[in-house]
Chain A
Amino acid sequence: MPKTFFRDFIGLEVKETKYQKLHVFSKILIPLSLSFSILFVKDVFSALILVFTSLFLCKIAGIPLGFIKKYLVIIISLTSFISLSFMLFTSMPGNVVFFEYTLVEIRAEKGVAEWKITISDASLNATMVFVSRIFAMVLSAVLLLGSVSDRELIWGLRSIGVPYGACLSIALFFKGLQLFVSDFYTVRDAMVIRGVDLDRMSLASKFKLYVNALIPLLTLLITRSYEISLALESRGISPSSKVPTRYHVPEFRLCDFAAIALSLAIAMFFYFCPSLWG
């Protein structure tokens, strides 16, 4: 099974596919080009193409998308908020208005100020484009995290000449992140064991408690940073270390050039054709 960020952070196993064997540079460039394209899409049709392209790439990367079900509540809430914001706070009359209701109307000498709920073809289109862009963004992030590991990232960066100290910092960042998340859950358990019921707490009390949680988390961060720096120093490694040998030398293969070409093609396509429908 390939090692990926997903495996480290949420324990998700990804299938061994040809995509997973690409050079890390290609595996970073593909989701990057998808994210770049998101900035330009303007209509539903283009946005949906982007979503399906991302889905297709996730599929060939062997990432089981079933795990997204766990995050469905968040995605649906986000979608609902976006829909509401386009209908409630932005008046988009468009060509066809399906529903309109005036919430507040203030008449003054210089005109009328209104706050309306408007469901029109334009607001629905804007909602769908926005939601599709978010889906595409989520999927491109899934593609990146489901195909790249911290070690690959470091090899990849070193292969393109990034200094050793910077690569080491990235490795330490990911290690720190993993430890921080695991410490957070333990601290939360330690609060629960004293009688804290997070489910029944008000948002303000919860916020205050999480601020308190920063005390042990920062204490642990300081202790761990000290321990890690000692471990690094004792191995003769420092940010300024000169490292003449590269043990892992990932090679560019023909399929990598094809992947890079595909990435560039996707980005250029959406840059020059942001709207395919109308």
Chain B
Amino acid sequence: MNVIEVENVWWTYKGREEPVLKNVNLRVEKGEFLGIMGPSSVGKTTLCLTFTGIIPQRVPGLFKGNVRVLGLDVKEIDVTELTRRVGVVFEDPESQFIMSTVEDELVIGLEPLNLSREEIRDRILWALDLVGLDKSFLDRSPLQLSGGEKQRVAIAAMLAKAPEILVLDEPTSDLDPLGKEEVLNVIKRIRDELDITIVVVEHESEILAELADRLVLLYDGKVVLEGSPKEFFSEVPKLISIGVYPPQITQLFYQLGRNSPPITLSEALKYEVLKLKKAVMEARPIKGVGDIIVECRNVSFSYEEDKFALKNVNLKIRLGEYIGLVGPNGSGKTTLAKLVAGLLKPSKGIVYINGKRIEEYDKLSLSSLVGYVFQNPDHQLFNQTVWDEVAFGLKLRGLSGDELESRVRRTLEIVGLQELAEEHPFFLSKGEKRRLALASILALEPKVLIVDEPTTGQDRGFSYRILSLLNDMRNRGITVIVITHSIPQLVKYADRLIVLKNGVVLADGNPREILADGSLVEEAKLTVPQVSVFMQKLGVSPIPLTVEEALNILE
């Protein structure tokens, strides 16, 4: 029995000419686990919103076609009625929270259901238990929970309504590896214990390869590929060409010319014995060979008295290095980056930039040496045109005329935004905004560029493009420091990882050695590339970090 039927659906948001959904057809069976994949901005969230009737009833736009959910026509059924039977969890848990305690967050969705107070209480405790949280969370503020806990509260708020369909829109993309693991365990538990249909939108193919019964690929507003995970991921070139990356293990076996490549690690390990053509992985040459540009000596920092966010950090960073600053949420990554950028002052210790104590610089000269790109580009764009945005910092430094003109033009060319110079930043796409935020800092020609979570919430194609752009910056002699959880993408370029946990540097060194250290990986909850895990299990040491590296040593 189909619980969701989408027939010839077209949807155009009001004020836009191009439809987001273009003749989408889709069916979901009762109890099925459906995964929806596709690059960013192809209409995945829009499609999910049609399952609740929010589109077409609440969002202004033009709708054509039919969507029937649980036998009800979404054009006619009361949205409130339908959302009681279909739960939707969005990507950013924080934007979903309204109330100031976990208990109230669950209560707010249950009070309209005409349940008694006792029933509400029972449902709250049941839902929290299902997502692995206990009574002690009831009184806590959702905003003070970890990323994984926040998303579990958001899922619990939906489960408490006992929906027949649960839609999870990129539930793990904003989370650190620990949070991701927690949420995935919850999804597995829901799938195994409840009689519920699950639809998950996800960029991480490794996750869907393990969980989904069926996958669909949405591209350019249409379903362009559909099948079991095995069938779906075997279309390696097609998927990669549109920016959806199959599991690394599938890519590896596909490149080795195997038919029906495995899609999970456990499947790959049963597959066949691969032969090594080289016994030893060649070390990647380290490119950062310049002078020391940043030095932290015994640096500590506390936001509150006696609660240290950073403890006794000692680091030396050289010109031209590409560094990944990694570790769980709350480990002190952003704090360390802000100390280096001069946005925070150390409680103890000294930060040196280019051999001089950081406090000896004024704001203008420090910002000419250290640039910081914020996670959300919307925080960083405050001018009327793309051109003005890039020129802002240069004008502050007294540049004008031809010199200003050529610096802005050159920077816009580097990030590929020269065609949009007169556009208002507000009207750029999310990817363009990110590039503009980067350009606004690059124009100042800093020696150190710190980029905070550039890949969070982005598809793999975009993540590789932005990390590759940063690699170009490194090749120009700039030190690049990337704060990220996307280690599998980062290690394609980074030659050094600094691992933080609880404000302490746990490890600092070559990614190959750090990711091969099982106990360190477990302690800091680092995501090791799937291909590295596989090769390690085959006994390869040192481990390859990318599919290309693995192919080099396999016959």
A residues sitting closer than 8 Å to B (CB atoms) are 3, 8, 11, 149-151, 168, 171-172, 175, 183, 186-187, 189-197, 212-213, 215-216, 219-220, 223-224, 227-238, 241-249
Contacts and interface: CB of A to CB of B under 8 A. Distances in A.
B56 to A, nearest CB: 13
B87 to A, nearest CB: 7
Nearest to A232: B98
Interface string B437-452: 0001100100000000
A196 B396 contact: yes
A241 B95 CA distance: 21
Contact of B84 (A171, A236, A238): A236
B378 A220 contact: yes
Centre residue among A196, A220, A223, A242 by max chain B CB count within 10 A: A196
Contact of A216 (B92, B363, B379): B379
B83 A195 contact: no
A172 to B, nearest CB: 6
6 contacts: A193-B341, A219-B381, A229-B58, A233-B83, A236-B79, A238-B79
B78 to A, nearest CB: 9
A3 B382 contact: no
B95 A236 contact: no
Contact of A194 (B87, B98, B110, B440): B440
Contacts of B54: 230, 233-234
B104 A151 contact: yes
A224 B96 CA distance: 10
Contact of A187 (B95, B120, B382, B392): B382
B312 interface: no
A233 B396 CA distance: 45
Interface stretch (B223-231, B365-373, B519-527): B365-373
Given A151-B100, A194-B444, A247-B117, A235 B367 contact: no
A171 B99 contact: yes
Centre residue among A189, A197, A232, A236 by max chain B CB count within 10 A: A236
A183 B109 contact: no
A186 B379 contact: yes
| Interface residue range, chain B | 35 or more
Nearest to B85: A236
A235 B109 contact: yes
A192 B363 contact: yes
B117 A234 contact: no
B109 A193 contact: no
A195 B52 contact: no
A183 B379 contact: yes
B115 interface: yes
B157 interface: yes
Given A194-B441, A236-B109, 4 more contacts: A196-B396, A235-B161, A236-B112, A238-B79
A195 B363 contact: yes
Contact of B95 (A189, A231, A237, A245): A231
B386 interface: no
Contact of A196 (B121, B157, B363, B381): B363
A212 B112 contact: no
A220 B94 CA distance: 14
A172 B99 CA distance: 8
Centre residue among A172, A191, A193, A224 by max chain B CB count within 10 A: A193
A172 B97 CA distance: 10
A245 B115 contact: yes
B238 interface: no
Given A183-B379, A234-B54, A245-B117, A190 B374 contact: yes
B364 A195 contact: yes
B100 A3 contact: yes
Interface string B385-427: 0000000110011000000000000000000000000000110
A6 to B, nearest CB: 13
Interface string B336-360: 0010011100000000000000000
Contacts of A229: 58
Given A151-B99, A193-B371, A195-B396, A237 B379 contact: no
Contacts of B374: 186, 189-190
A187 B80 contact: no
Contact of A219 (B116, B341, B363, B426): B426
B195 interface: no
A111 B93 CA distance: 73
B426 A247 contact: no
A270 B269 CA distance: 83
B11 interface: no
B29 interface: no
Nearest to B104: A151
Contacts of A196: 363, 396
B378 A245 contact: no
Contacts of B367: 192-195
A230 B49 contact: yes
B309 to A, nearest CB: 14
A215 B80 CA distance: 34
A248 B138 CA distance: 13
A247 B107 contact: yes
B90 A197 contact: no
B260 to A, nearest CB: 39
Nearest to A185: B379
Contacts of B87: 234
B362 interface: yes
Nearest to B443: A194
A243 B378 CA distance: 36
Nearest to B446: A193
B12 interface: no
A192 B370 CA distance: 11
Nearest to B116: A245
Interface in B58-109: 58, 79-81, 83-84, 87-88, 90, 92, 95-101, 104, 107-109
**What 3 A-B pairs are tightest by C-beta distance, nearest first?**
A236-B83, A227-B95, A231-B96
Given A197-B362, A233-B58, A228 B98 contact: yes
A227 B95 CA distance: 6
B426 A242 contact: no
Contacts of A193: 341, 343, 367, 371-372, 441
B185 interface: no
Nearest to B374: A190
Given A171-B99, A227-B95, A245-B117, A190 B380 contact: yes
B383 interface: yes
B266 interface: no
A238 B53 CA distance: 14
Contacts of A241: 80, 112
